């Protein structure tokens, strides 16, 4: 399936990033003087992130609304995007940080509709583009440093505002039926990563999943939304972070 292939591709990218990091900044088997020995004693750290996203939806169909117009099934297609962010990290304890990473995420989601009696491609698909202003507040729990490497897990909440939301958009073409989404979203996020202490900076590779907590669907009385009761966001993000 295309969605599964996309997920495998993102995991492959993560593996390549980790391989590049360890190859470009070898750890010498834990021997020698560790890099950036005073780095973790600082209260604040700053940096930037570059992310590769996979945007998708969690759908809940309306079991009490009869499928009309020969609509057989509704499914989603995950689409790739990217993000940019500014990192602010507050050291709370030796193994515990609070992170705020405001940024922009660019992406698209696709809804596929299978009809028994429609063949036009324009009738089978609805695309929703988004540019999100993301405001995540995350807790980072770190392991002990292993020479120049550290493992961590991360979790928290993210508020997102869709800057190009179609919530109030009116179609410019006659009989075009849009799937409209609310511009405000709230996600729970979990992930893990690896910190690599290089000679002059810290390089991080991170994988993070986001699960929407709000129903984004703007209900309207047409075939493309009447059969859906809930649309929630779902994201996978692979990031490189420089601090």
Asked whether 71 and 47 are in contact (CB, 8 A), the reply is no
For 167-178, write each residue's pLDDT tens digit: 666 665 555 677
Please provide the average confidence, as pLDDT, over all residues in the chain: 82
Contact 176, 220 (CB under 8 A): no
DSSP type of residue 155: E
DSSP string, 115-171: ESS---HHHHEEEEEEEEEEEEEEEEEE---BTTEEEEEEEEEEEEEETT--TT---
CATH number listed for the domain at residues 2-26+38-242:
2.40.160.20
Using one digit for the tens of pLDDT, what is the confidence trace for 11-31? 556 555 554 555 455 444 456
Q: Helix or strand or coil: residue 110?
A: strand
Q: Which residue has the higher pLDDT, 32 or 20?
A: 32
Instruction: Between 124 and 218, name the one with better pLDDT.
Output: 218
- The ranges assigned to domains in the chain are 2-26+38-242
């Amino acid at each position: 399936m295309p969605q599964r292939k996309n997920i495998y591709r993102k995991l492959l990218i993560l593996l390549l990033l980790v391989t590049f990091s360890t190859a470009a900044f070898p750890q010498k088997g834990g021997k020698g003087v560790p890099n950036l020995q005073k780095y973790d004693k600082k209260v604040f750290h700053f940096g930037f992130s570059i992310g590769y996203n996979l945007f998708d939806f969690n759908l809940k169909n309306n079991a009490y609304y009869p499928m009309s117009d020969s609509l057989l099934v509704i499914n989603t297609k995950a689409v790739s995007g990217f993000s940019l962010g500014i990192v602010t990290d507050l050291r709370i304890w030796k193994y515990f940080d609070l992170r705020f990473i405001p940024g922009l995420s660019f992406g698209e989601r696709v809804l596929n509709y299978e009809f028994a009696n429609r063949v036009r491609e324009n009738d089978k698909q609805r695309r929703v583009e988004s540019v999100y202003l993301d405001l995540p507040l995350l807790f980072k729990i770190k392991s002990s440093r292993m020479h120049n490497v550290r493992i961590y897990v991360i979790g928290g909440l993210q508020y997102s505002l869709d800057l190009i939301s179609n919530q109030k958009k009116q179609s410019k073409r006659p009989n075009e039926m849009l799937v409209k989404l609310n511009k405000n979203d709230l996600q729970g996020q979990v992930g893990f990563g690896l910190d690599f202490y290089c000679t002059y900076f810290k390089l991080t590779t991170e994988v993070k999943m986001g699960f929407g907590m709000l129903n984004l669907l703007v209900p309207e009385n047409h075939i493309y939304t009447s059969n859906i009761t809930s649309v929630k966001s779902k994201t996978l993000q692979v990031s490189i972070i420089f601090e």
